[in-house]
A and B are shown apart, each in its own frame.
Chain A
Amino acid sequence: MENVSAFGPSERPTRQTPAGPKRRGPNLHRFANPGRFLRLSGAILPWLTVIGIAVTAFGLTWGLFFSPPDWQQGDTVRIMYVHVPAAWLASAGYFSLAVCAVLSLVWRHPLADLAAQEIGPVGAVFTAICLATGSLWGKPMWGAWWVWDARLTSVLVLFFLYLGQIALIRAFDDPQRGYRAAAILALIGSVNLPIIKFSVDWWNTLHQPASITLTGAPTIAPAILWPLLYSAIGYTLVFAAIVLARLRAAVMERRVRTLLLARADHAASGAGAVAA
């Protein structure tokens, strides 16, 4: 049987010393081995899925039924338990795209391109959830579904960046060119992340400033903060589980394609030898 990599012969993560023989790559490249990745992810994925769903369900149930209403906003504050985790994951997802872009452009890590391809649609969905739930929160509180406020506009730009990344990967006949173009877009687009974060400080916006910061105490009551944290952790685990499942599927699909191509090559060369 053909001994072929899931990544194809030109994309195999080999490293050569000046003397010639292969040496063991850095730790990062150990996970470029498709078999090892599938084994590891296969062991992690069921736990990640079950814990993610359980923690999300716990956080959302607590937020919807047992947390107190806000003194100003009333019960609409409960939308926060969906909106805020989606907003965090929209930004975190794009940050992970930028990390994949660096791994791909600098170290040519073969899984980084596949990871970027699979993170993009999931990040776009969470950005869409953020925008939709923000709109549903804005209508009763601001009286408008949408305002061209700096925070909302910068998140809309993030959504378009995700769509651009998804489209670029599929825009070229040569997948490597698509991955490279999408990686460059991801790096350039990451400039938008600090703009999203600080938009509420830099401009006078209708959107409220951050209530939770790394440097100061949160300005949210603990009875509201705890279900929010559970919901955020749960959604993060669900996000990771979806990306991991998609990445496993992509690795296996690529290996199937590589094996079928190798068989077709083998059959064609055999037929050529018989004809000669």
Chain B
Amino acid sequence: MTHLPYIAASYAIGIVLPSGFGIAAWLRASAARRRLLAIDPRAQAREAARRGRDGGDGP
């Protein structure tokens, strides 16, 4: 394969940056969900209903 370093660097950038942003977004959403569940009774009720529908206690 010609110009392999350029191609490899491009694919690394194209995979690492969106993955990093995606993981950061997921972690941020998880942290926000935990904080909301801790203080919002409506969110707790929704979560309980969701777990009931799923048929388990969940994590």
User: Which residues 243-274 in A have Cβ within 8 Å of B in the complex?
Assistant: 245-246, 248-250, 252-253, 255-256, 259-260, 263
Q: Output the least CB separation between A124 and chain B (Å).
A: 10
- Return chain B residues, CB-CB under 8 Å to A76: 2-3, 6-7
B20-54 vs A, Cβ < 8 Å mask (1 yes, 0 no): 01100110110111011001111100100000000
User: Which residues 126-182 in A have Cβ within 8 Å of B in the complex?
Assistant: 126, 128-129, 132-133, 136-137, 139-140
- Return chain A residues, CB-CB under 8 Å to B31: 249
- Return chain A residues, CB-CB under 8 Å to B3: 74-76, 140
* A160→B15 CA distance, assembly (Å): 23
Interface residues on chain B, number (Cβ under 8 Å): 31
User: Is A125 at the interface (CB under 8 A from chain B)?
Assistant: yes
Q: Kindly count the residue-residue contacts between A and B in the assembled complex, taking CB atoms under 8 Å apart.
A: 103
* A140→B15 CA distance, assembly (Å): 21
Return the contact of A259 from the options B4, B22, B39 (Cβ within 8 A): B39
- Return chain B residues, CB-CB under 8 Å to A217: none
Would you call B29 and A252 a contact (CB within 8 A)? yes
- Return chain A residues, CB-CB under 8 Å to B6: 76, 79, 136-137, 139-140
Would you call A252 and B14 a contact (CB within 8 A)? no
User: Is A221 at the interface (CB under 8 A from chain B)?
Assistant: no
Residues of chain B at the chain A interface (Cβ within 8 Å): 1-4, 6-7, 9-11, 13-15, 17-18, 21-22, 25-26, 28-29, 31-33, 35-36, 39-43, 46
- Return chain A residues, CB-CB under 8 Å to B40: 255-256, 259
Known contacts A82-B11, A136-B6; A249 and B18 CB within 8 A of each other: no
Q: Per DSSP, are chain B's interface residues mostly helix, strand or loop, or mixed? A: helix
Q: Output the least CB separation between A136 and chain B (Å).
A: 5
Would you call A133 and B28 a contact (CB within 8 A)? no
Return the contact of B36 from the options A86, A122, A255 (Cβ within 8 A): A255
User: Is A238 at the interface (CB under 8 A from chain B)?
Assistant: yes
Known contacts A246-B25, A249-B25, A255-B36; A235 and B18 CB within 8 A of each other: yes
Return the contact of B14 from the options A49, A82, A260 (Cβ within 8 A): A82
User: Which residues 66-84 in A have Cβ within 8 Å of B in the complex?
Assistant: 69, 74-76, 78-79, 82-83
User: Is A35 at the interface (CB under 8 A from chain B)?
Assistant: yes
User: Which residues 97-144 in A have Cβ within 8 Å of B in the complex?
Assistant: 121-122, 125-126, 128-129, 132-133, 136-137, 139-140
